[in-house]
Chains A and B, each alone.
Chain A
Amino acid sequence: AQSVTQLGSHVSVSEGALVLLRCNYSSSVPPYLFWYVQYPNQGLQLLLKYTSAATLVKGINGFEAEFKKSETSFHLTKPSAHMSDAAEYFCAVTPGTNAGKSTFGDGTTLTVKP
């Protein structure tokens, strides 16, 4: 069994400020973890992924996330927000040892204020 909790359905930051989107997971097997970004009326764009290699993963558009097994977390960060970062962000977990389904969090809407 697996689940994802994204803390904060809405996060608002000023342009240039740190972005921190929180994701906690539970999984009965070693997980793969993903962050996706979704713009209105569009599909899912993969930002970054953890698939059991380095625990600090860097993705596109300056985003990075750190897998912390002891905290069961995979928080997404970006040092300096840009207006174009405003979107919906989804964290997802997939079993890393079998072909089971992916489970997505409820999503976090990021607003960037000028």
Chain B
Amino acid sequence: EPEVTQTPSHQVTQMGQEVILRCVPISNHLYFYWYRQILGQKVEFLVSFYNNEISEKSEIFDDQFSVERPDGSNFTLKIRSTKLEDSAMYFCASSAGQPSYEQYFGPGTRLTVT
């Protein structure tokens, strides 16, 4: 069964550094999402992306964050200058759209900012 993949599984970075988290959505999907889960908390929506544009973003998704679909298969989340509070598990998800809007989640990337 097709699945969403994410790399790396764990990333450690120093405060102030840039990180890029990578996702490969399911191949025929059109809608892409990033979510974040701070340790011990619930999963929170960050951003959704469709047709090479951001379709919705949360208040968490400030100017330090950006998303890109650089080619036909990857979907990336960039954090320009990481802060300690960016330490979290980041989940990518994708959806085919009509007729089913079900979102399929990847395994997550654990980001640790030191």
User: Which residues of chain A have a CB within 8 Å of any CB of chain B?
Assistant: 32, 41, 43-44, 46, 49, 51, 90, 92, 94-107
User: Which residues of chain B have a CB within 8 Å of any CB of chain A?
Assistant: 30-31, 33, 35, 42-45, 48, 50, 55-56, 58, 89, 91, 93, 95, 97, 100-103, 105-108, 110
The verdict on A104 contacting B42 (CB below 8 Å), with A43-B89, A43-B107, A99-B31 known, is: yes
CB distance from A52 to the nearest CB of B (A): 9
Nearest-CB residue, chain A, relative to B44 = A104
The verdict on A41 contacting B110 (CB below 8 Å), with A97-B101, A100-B56, A102-B35 known, is: yes
- 6 cross-chain pairs, A with B, having the tightest CB-CB distances, nearest first: A43-B108, A104-B43, A101-B45, A43-B107, A99-B31, A104-B42
Nearest-CB residue, chain A, relative to B57 = A101
CA distance A98 to B31 in the complex (A): 10
- CB < 8 Å neighbour of B103 from A41, A90, A102, A105: A102
Q: A43-B106, A100-B48, A102-B45 are in contact. List 19 more A-B contacts (CB 8 A).
A: A41-B110, A43-B91, A43-B105, A43-B107, A90-B42, A92-B43, A94-B102, A94-B103, A95-B101, A98-B101, A99-B97, A99-B101, A100-B56, A101-B56, A102-B33, A103-B45, A104-B44, A105-B42, A106-B42
Pairs A–B under 8 Å by Cβ, sample size 21? A32-B101, A32-B102, A41-B110, A43-B108, A44-B108, A51-B100, A51-B102, A92-B43, A94-B103, A96-B101, A99-B30, A99-B95, A100-B48, A100-B56, A101-B58, A102-B35, A102-B43, A102-B103, A104-B42, A104-B43, A104-B44
